C-alpha cells in the first residue's frame, strides 16, 4: 500500500459487511488449542499480522498447524508441553501474543527470547513478569527494566502445593488473561488475586469463556479472585468457530450512525462474547437506531440527523471507545470519554495521538491522564493529513471523517494490516453506494438513471454504451463481431472517453454513431461473448467512486455490483415503449411506424430474455418499477422515494 491514501468526501454510508474474525478470540483460541490435548479445527480465524505472529510463534515452538480451507486451521495440541525448548521469537507489536506467550513459556521449562518492534519494547510488562516470578519463573529483562525484550529460563523447581499469586489489573487486563491461560500448564491448583481495579473486564470474560470451551473451569469471586482447580490441562472442543471482530465492527456501525445507513455487519450479534458489542449501546445513547440480531447488527443515523454528545465511562470498551472519539466530531456538543488510561500503553499513546489528530480537524480537545474531551468544530477542516502512529485503529477511526463531506488523507494506511488488511476496500464499498437500474429496451431506464444520478450528485454509468463502443471499435479495426478473442482485446483497452454529454472514441466524437442501428446490433452481438463481458468488468467497477454511482444496464445488479444498495427493474408495456420511441423519432424529424416499432421491441424482448448470458430478467432482489403510466419525473421520484425508505423504513407507515 502506498504512503498515503486520499479519501474523497462521502455523503451516505450504507450496505453490509461480513466481518473478519475477532483478533482477541483468534489469538486466544490458537494458544489454547496449541496447549490442549487433541486436534482443534478453528474456523473463521482472523487473517492479519497479529494472528500471523501467533501462528508463526506456535510453529516455531513445534506446534503443528495446518491450513484447511479459507480462514480455517487445524491445530494439533501438544498437551501442555511445547516440543521446542529453545527459541527466539519475534512478536511484532502483537500484545495478545506477547503477553500470553510470555506466561506460557515462563512455565514451559525452556530457554526463550521474546522481542518485538520498538513500540512493543515501550509497552510495560513488569506486572506480568512480577506475577510469574512469584510462581518461580526465571525471566530477565534484556533492555529496559520492566519492558520487553525478555529472556526466559526454566523455572526453579518448587515445593508443590497450591500456587497463589497476585497481579495488578489496572494497566492491562492481558496480564491476567496470560496467567489464566498459562496456569493450567502447571497441573496444580492455583489462585490469582487481582491487585487494584481490573480494567477491560469483558476481555477477561472472553478468556474465561474460551477456556471453558477447552474444559478449563475457573472459579471467579467478583473480579478479584480467580481459582483454577488442579489437573485441568485443556482438552480440544474439536471445532471452534471464531465470531466476527466487534472492535472492527465499530467503524462500520459508526459510519451508519454518521451518514444515514443502514449499515449491517454480519458476524457479531446478541450471541457475541465480545465486550465491544456494547459499543452499539453507546450509539443508541447518541441517538442512532440500532437493531441487534443474533449474529448481525444494523445501524441507522438518528432520524433527526444529529448525534447526541456523550459523557461516558468507557473502561469496558477501550478499543471501540477510540471510534467514539471520532464520532464526537459529529455530535451536537462536548463529548467526554472517561476511564481510558489504558490507551496510553497501546500501539501508541492513543490519548495523545487522538488529541493531536482531532485538533488538526478543527476540534477543541482536552486530554487528561485518563480522559478525552472533544468539542466538535463548526466546520471540519478539509484536506487534513492524518498521521496514524503505526496504530491500525487510528487509521480506521479517522477514515470516518470523510463521511462529514470533507476530503482527507490517511498517512501510512497499510498499518491496518495488523488486524484488518482489507479494511479500506470494505470501507470504500459502504461509503460509495451503487444504485443499479436495468430494464428492457426503450423503457426509459437511461433517462431515469441519469436523472437520479444528477439529483444525488453521483456518477453515472451507461454500461450499454461500453458495449456499443466496443462494437464500433471492432468495425474500425476490421474485426468481426463474433471474433471473441479479438473483440475482447479491443474491449480491454477501449480508447473511449466520456466528456460532458459527448462520447469520444480515439478522440473522435461518436455520440450519435453509437446510438445508430448498426451499433445497436453490434452491441447486442458482442455483449453475448463471455470474454468481452469479462474484459469490461474492471472498467465498469472503476466507475464506483465517491460519493456514489448510478449504474444502468443488464448485469449491473447481478454481476458487476451485486452489493448495490438499490436494484431497480424498470419496465413499461411494449405498447407504451413503442409509443415513446415513436415520439422520440418523430421529434428528431425521422419517419416512424408504431406497429413496426412495437413488433421490433417485442422481438428484441424475447431475444434478450432467452439469451443464455446476462439475459433480460428482473433479479429476485430488484424492485419493479412499471412506468407505463408514469412520467419521467414520476419514475425518478419513485426511485428517490425508495432510497429514502431504505434509510428509514418506518417512514413508510407513518
Ligand atoms: O442499454 P443499451 O441498449 O445501450 O445496450 C446495448 C446492448 O448491450 C444491448 O444489447 C444490451 C447489451 N448490454 C449488456 O448486455 N449488458 C449491459 N450491462 C449493458 C448492455
For the stretch 390-442, pLDDT in tens is 999 999 999 999 999 999 999 999 999 999 999 999 999 999 999 999 998 88
**Same domain (yes/no): 91, 155:** yes
Distance 554 CA to ligand 1 centre (A): 6
**Same domain (yes/no): 182, 276:** no
Q: Which atom of ligand 1 is nearest to the CA of 441?
A: 3
Parallel, antiparallel, or unpaired: how do β-strands 335-338 and 311-313 relate? parallel
Q: Which atom of ligand 1 is nearest to the CA of 555?
A: 18
- SS3 (DSSP) at 6: strand
Give the pLDDT band (50/70/90) at residue 648: confident
Residue 5 φ then ψ, to 5°: -130, 125
Which residues pair with residue 67 across a beta bridge?
Answer: 73
**Cell of residue 147, nine digits:** 519492558
Element of type H or E holding 424: helix 423-431
Q: Whose Cα sits closest to atom 6 in ligand 1?
A: 464
Which residues pair with residue 76 across a beta bridge?
Answer: 39, 64
**Same domain (yes/no): 333, 201:** no
Kindly state if the Cβ of 468 falls inside 6 Å of ligand 1: yes
**Same domain (yes/no): 13, 146:** no
Q: Which tens digits make up the pLDDT trace of 70-108?
A: 899 999 999 999 999 999 999 999 999 999 999 999 999
Distance 644 CA to ligand 1 centre (A): 29
Burial group, residue 332, by CB count within 10 angstroms (0-12, 13-18, 19+): middle
Which residues pair with residue 21 across a beta bridge?
Answer: 244
**Same domain (yes/no): 13, 154:** no
Kindly state if the Cβ of 553 falls inside 6 Å of ligand 1: yes
pLDDT at 341 (0 to 100): 95
Task: Return d(Cα 398, Cα 388) in angstroms, integer.
Answer: 9
Last residue of a domain, one of 192, 210, 241: 241
Q: Which atom of ligand 1 is nearest to the CA of 526?
A: 8
pLDDT at 159 (0 to 100): 57
Give the pLDDT band (50/70/90) at residue 158: low
Kindly state if the Cβ of 458 falls inside 6 Å of ligand 1: no
**Same domain (yes/no): 530, 558:** no
Distance of CA 609 to the CA centre of its chain: 37
The answer, yes or no, to whether residue 544 has pLDDT greater than 50, is: yes
Kindly state if the Cβ of 554 falls inside 6 Å of ligand 1: yes
- How distant, in Å, are the alpha carbons of 8, 133, 161, 559, 619 from that of 262? 20, 51, 57, 23, 22
The answer, yes or no, to whether residue 233 has pLDDT greater than 50, is: yes
Kindly state if the Cβ of 463 falls inside 6 Å of ligand 1: yes
Structural domain total, the chain: 4
Q: What is the mean pLDDT of residues 371-381?
A: 98
Task: Return d(Cα 288, Cα 261) in angstroms, integer.
Answer: 10
**Same domain (yes/no): 48, 62:** yes
Task: Return d(Cα 580, Cα 575) in angstroms, integer.
Answer: 9
Which residue is listed with cell 491522564? 369
The answer, yes or no, to whether residue 472 has pLDDT greater than 90, is: yes
**Cell of residue 31, nine digits:** 494458544
Distance 470 CA to ligand 1 centre (A): 11
- How distant, in Å, are the alpha carbons of 301, 403, 416, 423 from that of 260? 5, 10, 25, 20
**Same domain (yes/no): 515, 554:** no
Percent of the chain with pLDDT over 90: 86
Distance 529 CA to ligand 1 centre (A): 12
Reported as half-sphere exposure (CB side, CA atoms, 13 A), residue 164 has a value of 4
Selecting among 245, 319, 387, 412, the annotated active-site residue is: 319
Q: Whose Cα sits closest to atom 3 in ligand 1?
A: 464
Task: Return d(Cα 513, Cα 491) in angstroms, integer.
Answer: 17
- SS3 (DSSP) at 580: helix
Asked if 343 and 316 touch (Cβ cutoff 8 Å), the reply is no
Least confident of 111-120, 235-244, 361-370, 439-448: 439-448
521 vs 533, residue with greater confidence: 533
Q: Which domain holds residue 639?
A: 432-458+547-654
Alpha-helix runs per DSSP H in 313-412? 320-327, 350-360, 392-399
Q: Which atom of ligand 1 is nearest to the CA of 614?
A: 15
Least confident of 154-163, 220-229, 439-448, 615-624: 154-163
**Same domain (yes/no): 45, 79:** yes
Q: Which atom of ligand 1 is nearest to the CA of 540?
A: 18
Q: What is the mean pLDDT of residues 13-32?
A: 97
pLDDT at 654 (0 to 100): 34
Kindly state if the Cβ of 532 falls inside 6 Å of ligand 1: no
Going by C-alpha positions, the residue among 180, 174, 182 that lies closest to residue 200 is: 174
Give the pLDDT band (50/70/90) at residue 54: very high
The answer, yes or no, to whether residue 168 has pLDDT greater than 70, is: yes
Distance 616 CA to ligand 1 centre (A): 10
What interhelical angle do 23-35 and 174-182 show, nearest 10? 20
Residue 72 φ then ψ, to 5°: -120, 140
Q: Determine the residue of 553, 577, 610, 616 to mutate for testing ligand 1's pocket, defined as the one with the most ligand atoms within 8 A of the Cβ atom.
A: 553
Q: Determine the residue of 462, 534, 554 to mutate for testing ligand 1's pocket, defined as the one with the most ligand atoms within 8 A of the Cβ atom.
A: 554
**Cell of residue 545, nine digits:** 467512486
**Same domain (yes/no): 126, 60:** yes
Q: Assign residue 100 the CATH number of its domain.
A: 3.65.10.10
The answer, yes or no, to whether residue 369 has pLDDT greater than 80, is: yes
What average pLDDT is seen over the chain?
94
pLDDT at 609 (0 to 100): 83
Asked if 343 and 360 touch (Cβ cutoff 8 Å), the reply is no
pLDDT at 650 (0 to 100): 61
Q: Whose Cα sits closest to atom 10 in ligand 1?
A: 524
Distance 526 CA to ligand 1 centre (A): 10
First to last CA, the chain: 48
The answer, yes or no, to whether residue 217 has pLDDT greater than 80, is: yes
Q: Assign residue 513 the CATH number of its domain.
A: 3.40.50.300
Distance 428 CA to ligand 1 centre (A): 27
Distance 465 CA to ligand 1 centre (A): 7
Kindly state if the Cβ of 547 falls inside 6 Å of ligand 1: no
State yes or no: is 349 an active-site residue.
no
Which residues pair with residue 336 across a beta bridge?
Answer: 311, 373
Going by C-alpha positions, the residue among 86, 137, 131, 130 that lies closest to residue 110 is: 86
Last residue of a domain, one of 207, 223, 241: 241
Cβ–Cβ contacts within 10 Å for residue 143, how many?
12
Q: Whose Cα sits closest to atom 16 in ligand 1?
A: 554
Least confident of 24-33, 159-168, 502-511, 633-642: 159-168
Task: Return d(Cα 185, Cα 167) in angstroms, integer.
Answer: 18
Q: What is the mean pLDDT of residues 583-607?
A: 87
Asked if 72 and 41 touch (Cβ cutoff 8 Å), the reply is yes
The answer, yes or no, to whether residue 161 has pLDDT greater than 70, is: no
Asked if 257 and 327 touch (Cβ cutoff 8 Å), the reply is yes
**Same domain (yes/no): 274, 392:** yes
Going by C-alpha positions, the residue among 298, 577, 547, 289 that lies closest to residue 435 is: 547
Last residue of a domain, one of 206, 241, 276: 241
Kindly state if the Cβ of 561 falls inside 6 Å of ligand 1: no
**Same domain (yes/no): 71, 196:** yes
The pTM assigned to this predicted structure is 0.93
What value, to the nearest 5°, has the Cα angle with vertex 361 and ends 396 and 548? 55
Distance 466 CA to ligand 1 centre (A): 8
The answer, yes or no, to whether residue 162 has pLDDT greater than 80, is: no
Q: What is the mean pLDDT of residues 222-244?
A: 95
What interhelical angle do 484-492 and 463-477 show, nearest 10? 120
3-state secondary structure 579-607: HHHHHHHHHCCCCCCHHHHHHHHHHHHHH
Burial group, residue 640, by CB count within 10 angstroms (0-12, 13-18, 19+): middle
Give the pLDDT band (50/70/90) at residue 111: very high
Q: Determine the residue of 443, 444, 448, 524 to mutate for testing ligand 1's pocket, defined as the one with the most ligand atoms within 8 A of the Cβ atom.
A: 524
Q: What is the mean pLDDT of residues 152-171?
A: 83
The answer, yes or no, to whether residue 160 has pLDDT greater than 70, is: no
Least confident of 3-12, 133-142, 598-607: 598-607
Amino acid at each position: 500500500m502506498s504512503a498515503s491514501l486520499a479519501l474523497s468526501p462521502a455523503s451516505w454510508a450504507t450496505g453490509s459487511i461480513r466481518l473478519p474474525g475477532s483478533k482477541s478470540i483468534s489469538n486466544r483460541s490458537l494458544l489454547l488449542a496449541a496447549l490442549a490435548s487433541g486436534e482443534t479445527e478453528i474456523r473463521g480465524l482472523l487473517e492479519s499480522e497479529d494472528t500471523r505472529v501467533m501462528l508463526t510463534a506456535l510453529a516455531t515452538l513445534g506446534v503443528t498447524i495446518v491450513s484447511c480451507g479459507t480462514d480455517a486451521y487445524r491445530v494439533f495440541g501438544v498437551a501442555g508441553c511445547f516440543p521446542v525448548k529453545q527459541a527466539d521469537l519475534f512478536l511484532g507489536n502483537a500484545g495478545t501474543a506477547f503477553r500470553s506467550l510470555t506466561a506460557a513459556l515462563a512455565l514451559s521449562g525452556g530457554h526463550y527470547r521474546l522481542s518485538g518492534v520498538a513500540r512493543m519494547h515501550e509497552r510495560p510488562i513488569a506486572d506480568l513478569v512480577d506475577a510469574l516470578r512469584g510462581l518461580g519463573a526465571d525471566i530477565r529483562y534484556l533492555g529496559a527494566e520492566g519492558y520487553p525484550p525478555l529472556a526466559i529460563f526454566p523455572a526453579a523447581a518448587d515445593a508443590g502445593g497450591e500456587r497463589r499469586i497476585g497481579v495488578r489489573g489496572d494497566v492491562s487486563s492481558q496480564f491476567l488473561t496470560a496467567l489464566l491461560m498459562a496456569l493450567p500448564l502447571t497441573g496444580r491448583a492455583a489462585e490469582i488475586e487481582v491487585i487494584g481495579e481490573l480494567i477491560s473486564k469483558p476481555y477477561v470474560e472472553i478468556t474465561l469463556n474460551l477456556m471453558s470451551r477447552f474444559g478449563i473451569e475457573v472459579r471467579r469471586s467478583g473480579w478479584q479472585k480467580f481459582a483454577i482447580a488442579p489437573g485441568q490441562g485443556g482438552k480440544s472442543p474439536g471445532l471452534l468457530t471464531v465470531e466476527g471482530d466487534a472492535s472492527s465492527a465499530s467503524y462500520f456501525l459508526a459510519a451508519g450512525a454518521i451518514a444515514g445507513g443502514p449499515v449491517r455487519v454480519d458476524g457479531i450479534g446478541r450471541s457475541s462474547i465480545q465486550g465491544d458489542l456494547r459499543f452499539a449501546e453507546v450509539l443508541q445513547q447518541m441517538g442512532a437506531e440500532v437493531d441487534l440480531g443474533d449474529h448481525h447488527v444494523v445501524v441507522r443515523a438518528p432520524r433527526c440527523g444529529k448525534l447526541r454528545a456523550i459523557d461516558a465511562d468507557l473502561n469496558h470498551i477501550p478499543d471501540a471507545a477510540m471510534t467514539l472519539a471520532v464520532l464526537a466530531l459529529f455530535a451536537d456538543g462536548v463529548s467526554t470519554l472517561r476511564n481510558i488510561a489504558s490507551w496510553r500503553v497501546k500501539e501508541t499513546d492513543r490519548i495523545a495521538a487522538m488529541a493531536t489528530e482531532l485538533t488538526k480537524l478543527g476540534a477543541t480537545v482536552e486530554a487528561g491522564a485518563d480522559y478525552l474531551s472533544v468539542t466538535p468544530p463548526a466546520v471540519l477542516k478539509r484536506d487534513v493529513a492524518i498521521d496514524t502512529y503505526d496504530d491500525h485503529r487510528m487509521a480506521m477511526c479517522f477514515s470516518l471523517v470523510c463521511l462529514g463531506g470533507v476530503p482527507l488523507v490517511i498517512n501510512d494506511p497499510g498499518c491496518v494490516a495488523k488486524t484488518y488488511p482489507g479494511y479500506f476496500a470494505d470501507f470504500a464499498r459502504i461509503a460509495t453506494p451503487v444504485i443499479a437500474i436495468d430494464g428492457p429496451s426503450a423503457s426509459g431506464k437511461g433517462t431515469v438513471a441519469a436523472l437520479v444520478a444528477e439529483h444525488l450528485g453521483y456518477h453515472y454509468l451507461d454500461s450499454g454504451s461500453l458495449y456499443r463502443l466496443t462494437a464500433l471499435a471492432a468495425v474500425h479495426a476490421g474485426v468481426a463481431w463474433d471474433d471473441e478473442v479479438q473483440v475482447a482485446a479491443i474491449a480491454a483497452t477501449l480508447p473511449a472517453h466520456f466528456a460532458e454529454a459527448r462520447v469520444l472514441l480515439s478522440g473522435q466524437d461518436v455520440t450519435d454513431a453509437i446510438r445508430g442501428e448498426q451499433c445497436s446490433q453490434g452491441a447486442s452481438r458482442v455483449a453475448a461473448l463471455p470474454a468481452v463481458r469479462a474484459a469490461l468488468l474492471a472498467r465498469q467497477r472503476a466507475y464506483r467512486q465517491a460519493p456514489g454511482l448510478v449504474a444502468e444496464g443488464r448485469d449491473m445488479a447481478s454481476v458487476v455490483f451485486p452489493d448495490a444498495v438499490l436494484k431497480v427493474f424498470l419496465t413499461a408495456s411494449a405498447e407504451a415503449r413503442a409509443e415513446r420511441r415513436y415520439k422520440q423519432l418523430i421529434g428528431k424529424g425521422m419517419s416512424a411506424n408504431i406497429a413496426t416499432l412495437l413488433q421490433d421491441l417485442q422481438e428484441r424482448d424475447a431475444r434478450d430474455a432467452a439469451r443464455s448470458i446476462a439475459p433480460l430478467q428482473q433479479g429476485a432482489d430488484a424492485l419493479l418499477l412499471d412506468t407505463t403510466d408514469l412520467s419521467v419525473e414520476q419514475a425518478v421520484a419513485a426511485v428517490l422515494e425508495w432510497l429514502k425508505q431504505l434509510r428509514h423504513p418506518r417512514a413508510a407507515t407513518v
